[in-house]
Amino acid sequence: MAYRINLGQWNTIFAVPASVVDSHIKLATEAQLKVLLYLLRHAGEEMGEETLASALNISIEEIKNALDFWCEREVLSFSEGSLVPSEKPSEQIAPTAPAEPKAEKPAEKPRTTISRAQRPDQLTVGRLLQEDKLLAGLLDDAQQIMKKPLSPGDAATLVMLYDSFGLPCEVIALMMNYLSASGNANMRSIERLGIRWADEGIRTSDDALREIDRMTSSKEAWKKISELFGIHTIGNPTKSQLEHADRWRNEWHFSDEMITEAYERCVDKKGAYDIRYINGILKRWHEKGIKSLDSLREAESAAKNRQKAKSKNGKGSMFTLDGASFDVKKYEEDTLFDD
């Protein structure tokens, strides 16, 4: 007799990272969970924001917020314009074997974390609004910025940022105006950025304006980089993309042609776009003071000439650059992951 187990609907299953339940389910909204589950179920299929919005009956703005939410928590990440599992999972499952005892470490300042329970209830919100005119004014301003009435949950989030996280009303207003100008004035983004600012000690209008300038500059840098590379970013750029773009353009001051040259060398060598490899190339050029294609060609030509001279003198594949000796083969195989 042959036997077969009929699993019914369990014959078709898909995996969900444990961290989604262990660490993020309290924070995730219904829309954010819908988006993640739908993407996991249809892994390997190409779909746009409109397709997701239609399939899940939610807005494109909610789709973007959901993708941003899971990328921020390192469940997903973007690579070459595609969603992929994050290389750095935000939560690791603890081993079942007993852990070795560890030496005690000095107490560290705990990082503030957010949970739904930290939001004040409606009675507390009402009391604080009656007692604090600045806070009441902030909520009035928030309705103008968001162009809609605030829900009780929205009001509780703003009161939490003010009362629990210690952000002054003027700082919260500046943050909301920045997000509104960026087309991202939703309460999920306001909450997340507000908590980050609180963690980073941004407590004055001057601090907020400096951070807004930095964030704006980083986004503009990534916009230009993505155009140079032909990358279409779904939703907001990742933290890594913003940091690299800001470093290349605003810190190291590389021109478009130098960044494009590094990108093309990366693709020729690796066969694909790799932001860390590109960063390694540009870091080396920055350290050598090479800022133009002409200076790059001159440095490479000089290095090759020295290598040829060494070879003619019977010294093998070694050459000298800036007073240091290099093996040609090793130099060519260098991964350039210097960061």
Question: Is residue 36 within 8 Å of residue 75, measured between CB atoms?
Answer: yes
Number of compact structural domains in the chain: 2
pLDDT at 100: 47
Of the three residues 203, 230, 260, the one that is the final residue of a domain is: 203
pLDDT at 167: 95
Tokens 């913003």 appear where? Answer: 242
The answer to whether residues 124 and 191 belong to one domain is yes
Both tokens of 325, joined, read: 């000796």
CA distances from 164 to 25, 27, 73 (A): 22, 17, 22
The answer to whether residues 78 and 120 belong to one domain is no
Residue 223 belongs to a domain? no
Q: What is the CATH number of the domain that holds 57?
A: 1.10.10
Residue 93 belongs to a domain? no
- Tens of each residue's pLDDT in the chain, 339 residues: 555 556 566 667 878 888 888 887 877 788 888 988 988 888 877 778 888 888 898 888 778 778 877 877 778 876 555 666 765 544 333 333 444 444 454 444 344 343 333 688 889 999 999 999 999 999 999 999 999 999 999 999 999 999 999 999 999 999 999 999 988 888 999 999 999 999 999 999 999 999 999 999 999 999 999 999 988 766 678 888 999 999 999 999 999 999 999 999 999 998 888 999 999 999 999 999 999 999 999 999 998 888 888 777 655 555 555 444 555 455 444 444 444
Please name the residues in contact with 55: beta carbons below 8 A apart, sequence gap of 6 or more. 38
The answer to whether residues 190 and 122 belong to one domain is yes
Residue 197 belongs to a domain? yes
The answer to whether residues 120 and 185 belong to one domain is yes
Q: Please state, in angstroms and rounded to a whole number, the distance separating the CA atoms of residues 289 and 184.
A: 39
Residue 19 belongs to a domain? yes
Residue 280 belongs to a domain? no
SS3 209: helix
The answer to whether residues 120 and 199 belong to one domain is yes
Of the three residues 203, 235, 252, the one that is the final residue of a domain is: 203
The answer to whether residues 73 and 130 belong to one domain is no
Residue 54 belongs to a domain? yes
Residue 298 belongs to a domain? no
The answer to whether residues 135 and 78 belong to one domain is no
Question: Is residue 69 within 8 Å of residue 188, measured between CB atoms?
Answer: yes
Q: For the residues of 149-205, what is the DSSP string, one character each?
A: PPPHHHHHHHHHHHHTS---HHHHHHHHHHHHHTT--SHHHHHHHHHHHHHTT--SH
Exposure string of 169-179, with b = 16+ CB inside 10 Å and e = fewer, is bebbbbbbebb
Domain that holds residue 196: 116-203
Residue 185 belongs to a domain? yes
Contacts of 225-232 with C-beta under 8 Å, sequence gap 24+, read: 225/249, 225/259, 228/256, 228/259, 228/260, 228/263, 229/263, 229/273, 231/80, 231/81, 231/273, 232/81
* Closest to 258 measured CA to CA, from 228, 233, 235, 287: 228
Of the three residues 203, 235, 253, the one that is the final residue of a domain is: 203
